Amino acid sequence: MTLSSMARSAIMFEKDLYALIRGMRNHKGNEKEYIQNSLKECRREVRSPDMDNKATALLKLVYLEMFGHDMSWASFNVLEVMSSQKYLQKRVGYLAAVQTFRPDTEVLMLAENLLKKDLNSPQLPTIGLPLVTIPHVVNPSMANSLLTDLLPRLTHSSPAIRKKTIVTLYRLALVYPETLRPAWPKIKERLLDENEDSSVTAAIINVVCELGWRRPHDFLPLAPRLFELLVQGSNNWMAIKIIKLFATLVPLEPRLIKKLLPPLTTLIKTTPAMSLLYECINGIIQGGILDGAEGTVEGDEIARLCVSKLRGMLVVEGDPNLKYVALLAFTKIVASHPQLVALHSDVVVECIDDPDISIRTRALELVSGMVDGSNLMPIVERLLRQLREATPASASDDPINDRGMHGGVVPSGDSDDEEAAESLRRREARSSEALPLPEDYRQSVIENILDMCSRDTYANISDFEWYIGILVDLVGHCPTVGAQASDSSSTKSTTNVAQSIGLELQNVAVRVKSVRPEAVAAAQSLIIVERRRDLFPASGNGAQAVLASVAWMVGEYPDLLPDPQAVLSSLLHTSSAQLPASILAIYIQAIPKVFARLTSNQERSWTASRKSQSDLLMARIIHFLEPLVQHPHLEVQERAVEYLELMRVTSEAIQAHAVEGEDDGFVDPPLLLTQAIPSLFMGQELNPVASGALSKVPLTDGLDLDTPINDNLQ
């Protein structure tokens, strides 16, 4: 019962409580002083010998306590009002106890006898007061003490008392589990009584459902009665609880599957209540009924029925809650029945552009699981279009995502009446403008695109040139690292998105030789500094991690580069030295490879012009590497030292090598340029290796891989 209804029911309280409320409203801007004065008045009134004044003061204190003002100091006064012989005063005392008492409140020891006395009262309203109070304040000691007074109330003549007692016993069982041993036989007796009041049965089902999730084995003997209530019951909410309970029992007793299929099928076909319909479908999925009946006529029928009903939930436009739970159920079904879900891909794909970001996320997860070779390209193009058209922002920036902003929408729910019509919201207004996309959603879209395309070793891709274009396009939509949460895990996750794009591009180049030139050209476009303005995100450094893979590609396949001169210039750009050490180390490794590509031509004579060009390139490389010799990262430092010395030796050889004169014939270029440096990077072609290939290599006799090389390093 609310405070306002209490105040209306007792004239003696009405004036003072409402005067307090009106006073707070009349003192806007100065509420603190007014409340402090009111608290002083309450402290004085609560000590009054007049029980009416004491109860009035408590009622005002309860109201102020809801604003955060402590009233634990009045615990003993609460106990005094609880002991009043007048019901209206007693009710105020119990309300204050619920509001302020805790299991460790000291005066609870004094309250036990009062609770026992009121539990045995001949008046129904008085019995109800301790029954609704005990669950809020009970502790193990009190639970053990009150059990003997609560158990007789299970056979009380009033259904309301029996119902409240059952719920109170559940709370006792949570606080002190031993109380369930003597209480359970009586609770079970109430459940098995076919003449029991439906409200009491519903309360028992709620308690059984809550306990059943903890110890489902103990409730298997109740399956026949639960099944009977499911078939014969008319209470939708009780049916939902029973279905949830059966979902935990079916894995323990698979024979229940055959028994449950007919009533669940009937409920799904006939119920107009969306809540019950969804719980039936969810129970079938969660309980393993769908998997257990797979391959049977009944199983195929229930699967088709569930999927068709879920489609209906998706097309009920204007109710985002139904869409969300339907997509959630679809996601669970797609693992076992992908063909059935694929038949409804049209409505699922439509949800990708839903105004609600949570629905988009669920639809994205579902689409990722149902993609195949026939629908991969349109789905990916649709997701890319979504990334292109939207501006990065948090979801809260767009008012259409705030469901409270939809004017004229009144919260409503399904009735327990079987005849109840579906409760639907008004059709939501759709924004004509592209929604701002949260950074985590952008990241999820990119991750799902990569997963869909690379699944089963690119089994769904028929056009790898298209895929290379998609990867390059995705680089420009990488989430900004600074826009994520400030913790390191978010930054690492964002970096991994760009890194994953780069690894995919690298993987395609290695695996698919026919499109290797296109992949290398794509890598060149990403590594050239001048192109980054067009291909990288407009702000932030979220795409920076892709540079590691593309630098590896231009170094591994320099012969396929359309413009190696531009690539080398970008590798040697002053900004490259500021890159993270892991990327910079790969840059340093790629520089001599691209340099060798430019200078290793043996068929061109060693002219003054060619010598000048080579000198200039080496001077730029040496200038770039010299500062990196002191780099704090060991791998960067090591590579810089090695290649710096190599370039210096080569430079000396060039200076000593004579160039072609006017009367000279063909002059061979220095062997360091044409043979020595290229030979460092020439060898067998890098080919993909199966993941299990290494495990098939036999271990060499005498090779010990377990003994530590140096115990002191551990």
For residues 282 and 269, the answer to whether their CB atoms sit within 8 Å is no
Round to whole Å and give the CA distance between 247 and 239: 12
Specify the DSSP class assigned to residue 252.
T
Is the residue at 674 inside a domain? yes
3-class SS of residue 659? coil
SS3 content of the chain, % helix, strand, coil (to 5): 70, 0, 30
Query: What's the CA angle centered on 55, arms 51 and 58, to 5 degrees?
Result: 140
**pLDDT lower than 70: segments of the chain:** 1-15, 317-318, 391-435, 481-495, 539, 660-665, 713-714
Count of domains for the chain: 1
Round to whole Å and give the CA distance between 35 and 70: 12
- Residue 288 gets the label, from left (phi > 0), alpha (psi -120 to 50) or beta, of left
Is the residue at 525 inside a domain? no
Amino acid at 601: N
CB neighbour list of residue 334: distance below 8 Å, 6 or more residues apart: 341, 366, 369, 370
Please give the pLDDT value at position 287. Answer: 87
CB neighbour list of residue 218: distance below 8 Å, 6 or more residues apart: 211, 212
Round to whole Å and give the CA distance between 186 and 249: 22
Of the candidates 283, 351, 342, 267, which has an alpha carbon nearest to the alpha carbon of residue 307? 342
Judged on CB neighbours under 10 Å (0-12, 13-18, 19+), 195 is: exposed
Amino acid at 8: R
Please give the pLDDT value at position 665. Answer: 64
Specify the DSSP class assigned to residue 574.
G
Round to whole Å and give the CA distance between 568 and 616: 12
3-class SS of residue 15? helix
3-class SS of residue 556? helix
Amino acid at 315: V
- Taking the CB of residue 216, how many other CB atoms lie within 10 A of it? 17
**Burial call 242-276: b when 16+ CB within 10 Å, e when fewer:** bbbbbbbbbeeeeebbeebbebbbebbeebbbbbb
3-class SS of residue 392? strand
Round to whole Å and give the CA distance between 191 and 43: 48
Judged on CB neighbours under 10 Å (0-12, 13-18, 19+), 488 is: exposed
Is the residue at 621 inside a domain? yes
Round to whole Å and give the CA distance between 669 and 651: 13
Is the residue at 650 inside a domain? yes
Is the residue at 223 inside a domain? no
For residues 200 and 190, the answer to whether their CB atoms sit within 8 Å is yes
Terminal alpha carbon distance of the chain: 67
Can you name the residues that pair with 392 across neighbouring β-strands? 437
Amino acid at 9: S
Please give the pLDDT value at position 379. Answer: 93
Phi, psi of 437 (to 5 degrees): -105, 125
Round to whole Å and give the CA distance between 140 and 144: 6
Q: How far is CA 415 from CA 236, 275, 309, 412, 427, in A?
A: 8, 10, 19, 9, 21
Is the residue at 556 inside a domain? no
Residue 46 CA from chain centroid, whole number: 50
- Taking the CB of residue 373, how many other CB atoms lie within 10 A of it? 10
Round to whole Å and give the CA distance between 299 and 296: 5
Is the residue at 269 inside a domain? no
Of the candidates 444, 436, 363, which has an alpha carbon nearest to the alpha carbon of residue 395? 436
Round to whole Å and give the CA distance between 43 and 160: 36
Please give the residue range of the domain that contains residue 618.
Answer: 572-682
Please give the pLDDT value at position 10. Answer: 43
Round to whole Å and give the CA distance between 592 and 587: 9
pLDDT tens digits, one per residue of 165-185:
999 999 999 999 999 999 999
Round to whole Å and give the CA distance between 229 and 466: 58
CB neighbour list of residue 294: distance below 8 Å, 6 or more residues apart: 303, 336
Please give the pLDDT value at position 493. Answer: 56
For residues 628 and 640, the answer to whether their CB atoms sit within 8 Å is yes
Is the residue at 625 inside a domain? yes
For residues 36 and 67, the answer to whether their CB atoms sit within 8 Å is no
One-character DSSP codes across 132-156: HHHHHH--HHHHHHHHHHHGGGGG-
